[in-house]
Chains A and B, each alone.
Chain A
Amino acid sequence: MQFNSLSEFFAMGGYGFYVWLSYGACAVILLGIFISSKRTHGKILDDVKSQIAREARIKKAKEQGL
């Protein structure tokens, strides 16, 4: 461990702002793209699901109509 205390760790020898800015930006961007990809995945699956349900409903309605 290069730092004696937690506050020293966050200060980064006076460069804290720049170091944490870079790490923070990196984490935010990567997390953002990760989460958005995850969400798109869920959305596509939901779309397909609702499409299947819709077709099933139409089929059922047709059968009842007959």
Chain B
Amino acid sequence: MWKWLHPYAKAEKAYQVCNTLMPYFAVVAVIGLIVGWTWGLAYAPADYQQKDSYRIIFIHVPSAILSMGAYTSMAITAFIAMVWQIRNAELAVIAIAPVGAAVAAIALITGAAWGKPMWGTWWVWDARLTTMLILLFLYIGVIALYHAFEDKGAAGRASCILAMVGVVNVPIIHYSVEWWNTLHQGSTITKFDGSAIDSSMLYPLLINILAFACLMAVIVLMRLKNEILEREKHRPWVRNLVSGGKNAV
């Protein structure tokens, strides 16, 4: 049943798939970001309470959601890499980690910039912010571990194990931090209560989430292509690719 997937374990085929998929994601990302940012910044109505500062939501929420999502997908890829011993999945883990870390950093920066006018401080030890900070540490751990190894094969496998250990911990960390927060000081976050977000704000938000996801996909695919090329540097197909299809060797 899954046989059609098997060819994609080959590096060359995976590289081609990356090339085929990238333009679609790129188009959606560019259009989505242009529409989403203009709509969010200029056309969406101001919040009655937070005024124009709430416009940060259009990048804060997508980056927060997607940094979590990227971690989950990284862990799933790591699981695939470890169980079925597929090297391309290992490379994908390494491709996702820096992108996830960048997006987690964006979520933290935007969170701080939103917190300053709303709560009066740049940083609150709020459950979500703390979880996001720890998530960033976990990402940095995966990246640092990968770069610490000389042998890139071992590095990939070690990073996969760490990604899987991390994903077991993320929910525990999240709930422990939430619980710790409520025990100590009570929640200070002023969020939009549930579905109270108006459709005039919801639509640009959804567009931004989609565009962000596609942009991340583009960057991940680019990095995956780089990793594949780096590993397969000496293979004939890479040489053919470089010398423009001619059989050079």
Chain A residues near B (Cβ < 8 Å): 1-3, 9, 12-15, 18-19, 21-23, 25-26, 29-30, 32-34, 37-38, 40-41, 44-45, 47-49, 51-52, 55
Report if B106 contacts A (CB, 8 A): yes
**Residues on the A chain within 8 Å of B223, using CB:** 37, 40
Chain A's closest residue to B216 (CB) is: A30
Chain B residues contacting A32 (CB-CB under 8 Å) are: 102
CA distance A18 to B59 in the complex (A): 13
Q: Once the chains are docked, how many angstroms separate the CA of A52 from the CA of B249? A: 8
**9 tightest Cβ-Cβ pairs between the two chains A and B:** A15-B53, A13-B52, A22-B110, A12-B52, A37-B222, A22-B113, A18-B113, A25-B109, A48-B242
- 16 new A-B pairs (CB below 8 Å) besides A1-B43, A23-B37? A2-B42, A9-B42, A12-B55, A13-B51, A18-B117, A30-B102, A32-B102, A33-B98, A33-B99, A34-B219, A34-B222, A45-B229, A45-B242, A48-B242, A51-B233, A52-B239
Of the listed residues B102, B110, B226, B249, the one surrounded by the most CB atoms of chain A closer than 10 A to its CB is B226
Residue in A closest to B248 when the chains form the complex, CB atoms: A52
CA A62 to CA B109, docked complex, whole Å: 59
Interface residues of B, count at CB 8 A:
42
Residues of B within 8 A of A (CB): 37, 41-46, 51-53, 55-56, 59-60, 63, 98-99, 102, 105-106, 109-110, 113-114, 116-117, 215, 218-219, 222-223, 225-226, 229-230, 233, 238-239, 242-243, 248-249
| Nearest Cβ on chain B to A24's Cβ, whole angstroms | 10
Q: What separation, in Å, do the CA atoms of A13 and B215 have in the docked complex?
A: 30
Closest A residue to B53 using CB positions: A15
Contacts A37-B219, A48-B238, A52-B243: A23 and B53 contacting too (C-beta < 8 A)?
Answer: no
* Chain B residues with CB under 8 A of A15: 51-53, 55, 117
Question: How far, in angstroms, from A14 to B225 measured CA to CA in the complex?
Answer: 44
B59 touches A22 (CB 8 A): yes
Query: Measured between alpha carbons, how far is A12 from B113 in the docked complex, in Å?
Result: 14
User: What's the least CB distance linking B211 to chain A, in Å?
Assistant: 11
For B116, the closest partner residue in chain A by CB is A18
B41: chain A residues at CB < 8 Å are 9, 19, 23
Q: List, in ascending order, chain A residues with CB within 8 A of B106's CB.
A: 25-26, 29-30
- Asked whether, in the complex, the Cβ of B43 is within 8 Å of the Cβ of A19, the reply is no
CB–CB B233/A47 < 8 A: yes
**In the complex, what residues of A have CB within 8 A of residue B222's CB?**
34, 37-38, 41
Q: Contacts A2-B44, A29-B102; is A40 near B53 (CB within 8 Å)?
A: no
Please name all residues of chain A whose beta carbon is closer than 8 Å to the beta carbon of B233 when the two chains form the complex.
44, 47-48, 51
8 contacts between A and B (CB under 8 A): A2-B46, A3-B42, A19-B55, A25-B106, A25-B113, A44-B233, A45-B229, A48-B229
Nearest A residue to B228 via CB reads: A44
Provided the pairs A22-B114, A52-B239, A52-B248 are in contact, do residues A2 and B45 lie with their beta carbons within 8 angstroms? yes
Which of B51, B105, B239 is A48 in contact with, Cβ under 8 Å?
B239
